[in-house]
Amino acid sequence: MEILVADDDLASVKLTSFLLEDAGYRVIKAYDAAGVLHAIEQRTPDLVLLDVGMPKVSGFDICRQIRRMSDVPIIFVTGSGQLQDRVTGLQIGGDDYLVKPFEPAELLARVEAVLRRRNSDMVNPVTRISQGPLTLDPIEHTVLFEDGRHVVLTPIEFRLLYYLMQNSGRVLSPDQILNKVWGYDYEGESNLVAVYVRRLRAKIESDGESPRHIITVRNLGYKFVA
């Protein structure tokens, strides 16, 4: 597995690279937007660790550029732990968000979880699934509607909707969803599920405030209704 470490802090890159290489990963290093995009095009890494505070072009803007060309998993690694930054990072296509300073064990656990999702059958389904008026296409990462419309989903949006549709009619707790879709389960991240549920509703529901398909079951979780 090859991981791209993108950060303008040389000391941080050195430390992170040491941890990853010690765990058996190959590391590519980049210190600005141009270096990141070049590495994505030329090396096709398995994962990107991306600092938000990059020079000239922010990590958020770099993420947006990456998403135009690749669905490579991205973990934001940054000194900003503000909720709005976390939400923004996830909304624009990040797969996870880790705040500095972090424990080496947590970094490795996050990396392993994202790569495990990436390589599991659950994360990358190979067959279409249909429930009611919706069909999920795993090749194009799109939702197909009965009237011929289609909507493109990000990789995490796709995994989340697939998991909900796969368990149609069943109430799934935020912990279950985190474990199956994100690959980890720990306190304080249930809002991550809520963020992506809102995003999905905005894309597939005719009225996101009164959803027909992705239903909130108070104090329990969410369920898909065909």
Query: Alpha-carbon distance 61 to 64, whole Å?
Result: 5
Taking residues 46-75, what's their average pLDDT?
89
Q: Does the pLDDT of residue 51 top 50, yes or no?
A: yes
Token pair for residue 77? Answer: 């690694």
pLDDT tens per residue, range 87-117: 888 888 888 888 888 899 999 999 988 887 7
pLDDT tens per residue, range 165-200: 989 999 999 888 887 777 655 455 667 788 889 989
Structural domains in the chain?
Answer: 2-119 (3.40.50.2300), 129-224 (1.10.10.10)
Nearest to 71 by CA among 155, 140, 146: 155
Residue environment code for 106-120, b if the CB has 16+ CB neighbours within 10 A, otherwise e: ebeebbebbbebbee
The reported pLDDT for the residue numbered 121 is 41
